[in-house]
Amino acid sequence: IKHPLQNKWTLWYYENDRNKTWEENQREITSFDTVEDFWGLYNHIKAASDLRQGSDYSLFKKGIRPMWEDVGNKQGGRWLINLEKKQRSMDLNNFWLEVLLCLIGEAFDDFSDDICGAVVNVRGKGDKIGVWTADASRSESVVQIGRRLKERLNIAPKVVIGYQIHKDTMNKSGSVTKNTYTV
Ligand code: M7G
């Protein structure tokens, strides 16, 4: 028998089509709940670095859509890792795989229930990886998740990563959203 995961996960793919709304461009690919099915899927799809710019992959717990509006996300926010352009070749795929393994392996211990999913944005101006959590007001959980993420990605202690509340991202006027937490 296959090795079961604690949760069932859904992979989403976003491709930028200007004739459709952002929501219509989000496509549900497939769901899985075993280690073997995860690797079968991972080995079958393009690496993040090979996606067309403007595309995203999202992996979310089944039942949570990869959008701010979902009931699972609307009180939440994300830890955001902004990559430099040159990191697409060195780090993007490694970071994204490590984030996927953190999610399906429930690497956040007592706080894994607060994980909703993760998103990789492939962008010309610099790629981004976000880890989305359910409730921005649960500060201990948010901070512990951020610390563990930083450890697991081997991000140097002097590099600061920030957590942004989705409501702030949604309502932002400029190009940057304020950080509510940093680690
Ligand atoms: P992005 O793709 O997260 O980052 O957001 P980018 O600016 O680097 O491309 C781009 C735009 O996509 C936003 O300004 C929104 O118009 C739309 N968008 C992104 N997200 C995550 C959402 C969402 O969760 N819900 C809705 N309705 N629109 C979103």
Q: Whose CA is nearest to atom 11 of ligand 1?
A: 22
Q: Whose CA is nearest to atom 12 of ligand 1?
A: 22
Q: How far is the CA of 141 from the centre of ligand 1 (A)?
A: 25
| pTM (2 d.p.) | 0.98
The parts of the chain modelled with pLDDT lower than 50 are none
pLDDT at 175: 74
Q: How far is the CA of 36 from the centre of ligand 1 (A)?
A: 32
Q: Whose CA is nearest to atom 20 of ligand 1?
A: 67
Q: What is the pLDDT of residues 50-70, one digit of tens each?
A: 999 999 999 999 999 999 999
pLDDT at 126: 98
Distance, CA of 59 to CA of 28 (rounded, Å): 10
Q: Whose CA is nearest to atom 21 of ligand 1?
A: 67
Q: Whose CA is nearest to atom 24 of ligand 1?
A: 67
Q: How far is the CA of 181 from the centre of ligand 1 (A)?
A: 21
Q: How far is the CA of 92 from the centre of ligand 1 (A)?
A: 20
b/e 52-73 (16+ beta carbons within 10 angstroms → b): eeebbbbbbbeebbbbbebebb
Ligand 1 atom at minimal distance to the Cα of residue 67: 24
Ligand 1 atom at minimal distance to the Cα of residue 73: 24
pLDDT at 16: 95
pLDDT at 176: 85
pLDDT at 39: 98
